[in-house]
Amino acid sequence: MTTNIAPAFIDVYSINDDDDSDPDSIYYATANTIDELCSHLIDAMGNVTLDFLFTDDDMGHDVYDVCNADNDVIAVAYIGHA
C-alpha cells in the first residue's frame, strides 16, 4: 500500500446492505496516511484487515475487501485522495 497520499479518505460499505442500488456507507474517515486510516478503521470496526482488490482509475481510488479475524469479507472499502 502507498502510505503517503495525504490527505486520504476511506469509505466503507457493508456487503449485506439491503438496498443494493443505493448502499449506505457504514464508516468514513480522513487521515494523512493509509496507515492512519487502517488504524482508525481497526479502532472503529475491531480486528479487521484490508485485502487489495483493484485500482479504479476512473474514480481515482483503490478498492479493498474488509475482512474480519476469520478472514470473512464483511465490507468493501474505497481509499483515495480526500
Query: Positive or negative CA dihedral for 38, 43, 45, 49?
Result: positive
Write down the pLDDT at residue 16. 77
Write down the pLDDT at residue 59. 87
Tell me the average confidence (pLDDT) per consecutive run of 10 residues in the chain, 82 residues long: 68 78 85 90 94 92 95 94 74
30: phi then psi, degrees, rounded to nearest 5: -125, 155
Write down the pLDDT at residue 9. 93
The number of CA neighbours under 13 Å toward the Cβ of 69 is 4
Can you give the residue ranges of every domain in the chain?
8-64+74-81
Please give the model's pTM, rounded to 2 decimal places: 0.83
